[in-house]
Chains A and B, each alone.
Chain A
Amino acid sequence: AQTVTQSQPEMSVQEAETVTLSCTYDTSESDYYLFWYKQPPSRQMILVIRQEAYKQQNATENRFSVNFQKAAKSFSLKISDSQLGDAAMYFCAYRRDLGGGGSEKLVFGKGTKLTVNP
């Protein structure tokens, strides 16, 4: 079964600095998709960024970028120029590719709580 591990329950960063959140996953699949979701205090889940496993290029969305290491099964999220509004729980998630067959599940890690200090 696929598992997603976020080893940092909590992280903190100074405003305007850069922070990296870690995520590792376990899978025997070769094709899959990875995601980072943000959950601010409002509890709303918001998709931050996605990465296709077949793409070597790391995904980027404005100040958010990932470091995807397929062989190491690692998928970290880098937030540059951190802002107070970035304070939230961040969840890493894994989805297996449709072509692999089986159920279409989205498996989440346990989350990392990010605090941004002014």
Chain B
Amino acid sequence: EAQVTQNPRYLITVTGKKLTVTCSQNMNHEYMSWYRQDPGLGLRQIYYSMNVEVTDKGDVPEGYKVSRKEKRNFPLILESPSPNQTSLYFCASSLTGIWVGEQYFGPGTRLTVT
């Protein structure tokens, strides 16, 4: 089954404790992206990757890191989480080119930073 998986689905952590949210896709997609969703703000792009070893900032990259060492994986790293990073996070993937808008989304990760 074609899918994007994220782990963990739910995470409660404390300020400053480094964490990683994993994302993996099995569709051989070149393009991967991370979004955060906050009430009243919609989805905002954090980082995206056009292909392996190529990543770029989205609209809200501060406080986040990503890496794309393998085509299928695109982890999101919070080096020192803060309460304002409490949010619902989505990983997505797609083909490149004209297909970038047709993204497959993971199930979401609900992160709470206390």
Contacts and interface: CB of A to CB of B under 8 A. Distances in A.
Interface of A: 6, 9, 33, 35, 43-47, 50, 91, 93, 95, 97-98, 103-111
Given A97-B98, A104-B96, 15 more contacts: A33-B101, A43-B88, A44-B105, A44-B108, A45-B92, A50-B102, A91-B42, A98-B98, A103-B48, A103-B56, A104-B31, A106-B45, A106-B100, A108-B43, A111-B42
A47 B58 contact: no
Interface string B67-90: 000000000000000000000101
Nearest to A6: B42
21 contacts: A33-B98, A33-B101, A43-B108, A44-B108, A45-B43, A45-B90, A45-B92, A93-B101, A97-B98, A104-B48, A104-B50, A104-B96, A104-B100, A105-B58, A106-B33, A106-B45, A106-B103, A107-B45, A107-B59, A108-B35, A110-B42
Contact of B100 (A6, A95, A108): A95
Interface of B: 31, 33, 35, 40-45, 48, 50, 56, 58-59, 88, 90, 92, 96-98, 100-103, 105, 107-108
